[in-house]
Chain A
Amino acid sequence: MIYRETGQFKAHYQDDQALFPIDQDRYVIFGVLFVTFALVPYLLNEYWLNAILLPFLIYSLAALGLNILTGYCGQLSLGTGGFMAVGAFSVYKLMVAFPELGFIPLVLLSGLITAAVGTLFGLPSLRIKGFYLAVATLAAQFFLIWLFNKVGWFFNYSASGMINAPPMTIFGVIVTGPEANGVAKYYLVAGIVAVFALAAKNIARGRIGRNWMAIRDMDIAAELIGVRPLVAKLSAFAVSSFYVGMAGALYFAVWLGSAEPTEAFDINQSFLVLFMIIIGGLGSVLGSFLGAAFLVIMPILLKNIMVDGFGTDSALAAHIEIIVVGVLIIGFLIVEPHGLARLWRIAKEKMRLWPFPY
């Protein structure tokens, strides 16, 4: 059908090694990027950008990070909320201390700080596996939140324990704080997510990614052929925490504007991001986005349809929404236990073979 690589001849080795070797995939990606950057900010209103697309993109980044660790390297982590808090508090301290550095470098720096913290908490993974590792990372979650709650230095001894993002500008446009407008915030976040999603796809298919997947599929066999578990696992923790830390920084500074650790970064965040990658598809960049869309955009849409469309009472709608989302999660996992990304892969394979069934 349309999705078939017949007639696309690769004349150079580079063509074959391209990130998207099939033309159709490339067109789709360009199309998505075009829609994301050129159409969406002008077609959708402030509410859509601020309340729906911003959290979707930020959670996608966090899911991408956790997917690197859990989906690609097979190390189960329940510390995502804690690591997001590290990113948020790092960017807060940096914004207050070094505002002259500019917002994007500060976000990257806070990602690096989170990477260091994540690597530290990844050390137990060398001895502990599976469920036990999940419990060990749970310790990270509780310890970090406790730390940000109790140690005044982190929240600059503010009376409420809350942190507030000071306004910062990029090229003269305000992107954080209450005065920032939706389009600017959207462009900033979408840009960062696009760059790092492509980077993740690139890392995952290269040598490091292969090492991670080898560790995931059979750690003993990987070790036997010379993959060093120490390097592979800790690098997965580092890269994953870098992504999660950036997501945490954007979550606090761009989306929420102010945050309080026990509320914004509690254990539910860890579970939410974990469910995103399970529903979206472990070990898939696309899956991280699909999972985030499923758990962020769909509940909001459902609620809006019920409240605005059918005039349902909003409290009742909230309950129905929880029920419907729960049923859909179970339904999707029964239809496709390997996540939404797998459905897409099967669909692609079917399109290639069409009109033949196999």
Chain B
Amino acid sequence: MSEAAIATSSKILLSVNNIEVIYDHVILVLKGVSLEVPEQGIVALLGANGAGKTTTLKSISNLLRAERGDITKGSIEFEGERIDKLTSAQLVQQGVIQVMEGRHCFEHLTVEENLLTGAYTRRDGNAAINRDLELVYSYFPRLKKRNRAQAGYTSGGEQQMVAIGRALMSRPKMILLDEPSMGLAPQLVEEIFEIVERLNRDEGVTFLLAEQNTNIALRYADHGYILENGRVVLDGSAAELRENTDVKEFYLGISEGERVNFRDVKHYRRRKRWLT
């Protein structure tokens, strides 16, 4: 989707308003994160380890409770309705589905069975489900070849494809994609992002993805949010972020002349803190 298209379709699908997340009653992880995902957009959450990317995704899909986390402030709205109180399973029915980091396939089921479990919430009949199965196979031809293999014995790349394919089978409006590039060869990463882009363009699926690999994420996303220490420190269109000197310096590894020490730019983060 182009920049212009985003500007015209101003409808916000998901908005996260100033959420604060505390783990185990005492550890503050997110210190007021706000973000918006436009309909049919691809939004990237970027940042180092421990910045709060995964926590943000988990608070949207309401998985925090399982890890003794809790949203103490703020609200999350999907299509204009609060979803903070819905369970993860109810969210799938609303059309929000998360693909977790590290894939988590059902390892004793075959690839095809894995994909079919994704259609658990569907009520529109077997014909529609089988059509979508074919659709998933058309996006991931590799899975078609291995459809009878046990998921636990497929490669990491194939498992990531199974996880994304399984999410697609629920006909989601929005997929929360956590670290799709983790542990994959660069070429496969490219392939996965290619597919994400095609799904977004052709099927109209909205993506919110958390990613370490800033370079590739900013190439495929429309908009990016950069998290540091549980706060959004910078956000903008992908094109803007790619040109930002600080992003270049610290996330893309492109420096203009002298290498800058991170410590010397602390003032920038402090200033930003008052603004957010």
Contacts and interface: CB of A to CB of B under 8 A. Distances in A.
Partners in one complex: yes
Nearest to B23: A358
A358 B25 CA distance: 8
Interface in B1-43: 22, 24-28
Interface in A336-358: 346, 349-350, 353, 357-358
Contacts of A358: 22, 25-28
11 contacts: A346-B24, A346-B25, A349-B25, A349-B26, A350-B26, A353-B26, A357-B22, A358-B22, A358-B25, A358-B26, A358-B28
A219 B274 CA distance: 46
Nearest to A347: B25
Nearest to A348: B26
Interface in A300-358: 346, 349-350, 353, 357-358
A311 B26 CA distance: 45
A357 B23 CA distance: 12
Contacts of B25: 346, 349-350, 358
Interface of A: 346, 349-350, 353, 357-358
Contacts of A353: 26
Interface of B: 22, 24-28
A349 B26 CA distance: 7
Contacts of A349: 25-26
A152 B27 CA distance: 60
Q: Which of B22, B26, B28 has the most CB of A within 10 A?
A: B26
Contacts of B24: 346
Nearest to A352: B26
Nearest to A345: B24
Q: Which of A350, A353, A357, A358 has the most CB of B within 10 A?
A: A358
Task: State the main secondary structure of chain A at its contact with B.
Answer: helix
A4 to B, nearest CB: 14
Contacts of A357: 22
Nearest to B72: A357
A84 to B, nearest CB: 35
A346 B24 CA distance: 8
A358 B23 CA distance: 10
Contacts of B27: 358
A353 B26 CA distance: 8
Contacts of B22: 357-358
A358 B20 CA distance: 12
A353 B25 CA distance: 11
Nearest to B24: A346
B233 to A, nearest CB: 21
A213 to B, nearest CB: 19
A215 to B, nearest CB: 22
Given A349-B25, A358-B22, A358-B28, 10 more contacts: A346-B24, A346-B25, A346-B26, A349-B26, A350-B25, A350-B26, A353-B26, A357-B22, A358-B25, A358-B26
Nearest to A346: B25
A357 B27 CA distance: 9
A357 B26 CA distance: 7
A260 B24 CA distance: 46
Contacts of B28: 358
A346 B27 CA distance: 11
A357 B70 CA distance: 13
A132 to B, nearest CB: 17
A358 B72 CA distance: 12
A346 B22 CA distance: 13
A154 to B, nearest CB: 46
A357 B20 CA distance: 13
A350 B24 CA distance: 11
A358 B26 CA distance: 5
A350 B25 CA distance: 8
B182 to A, nearest CB: 18
A5 B22 CA distance: 23
A257 B26 CA distance: 49
B221 to A, nearest CB: 32
A189 to B, nearest CB: 36
B23 to A, nearest CB: 9
A202 B25 CA distance: 28
A63 to B, nearest CB: 24
Contacts of B26: 346, 349-350, 353, 358
Contacts of A350: 25-26
A353 B27 CA distance: 11
A357 B72 CA distance: 11
Q: Which of B22, B24, B27 has the most CB of A within 10 A?
A: B24
A221 to B, nearest CB: 15
Nearest to B28: A358
A349 B22 CA distance: 13
A344 to B, nearest CB: 13
A358 B230 CA distance: 14
B102 to A, nearest CB: 14
A358 B24 CA distance: 10
A349 B68 CA distance: 15
A58 B28 CA distance: 41
A196 B254 CA distance: 60
A159 B94 CA distance: 72
A173 to B, nearest CB: 48
B247 to A, nearest CB: 30
A170 B25 CA distance: 50
B73 to A, nearest CB: 11
Top 3 A-B pairs, shortest CB-CB distance:
A358-B28, A349-B26, A358-B26
A84 B73 CA distance: 51
Contacts of A346: 24-26
Nearest to A353: B26
A334 to B, nearest CB: 13
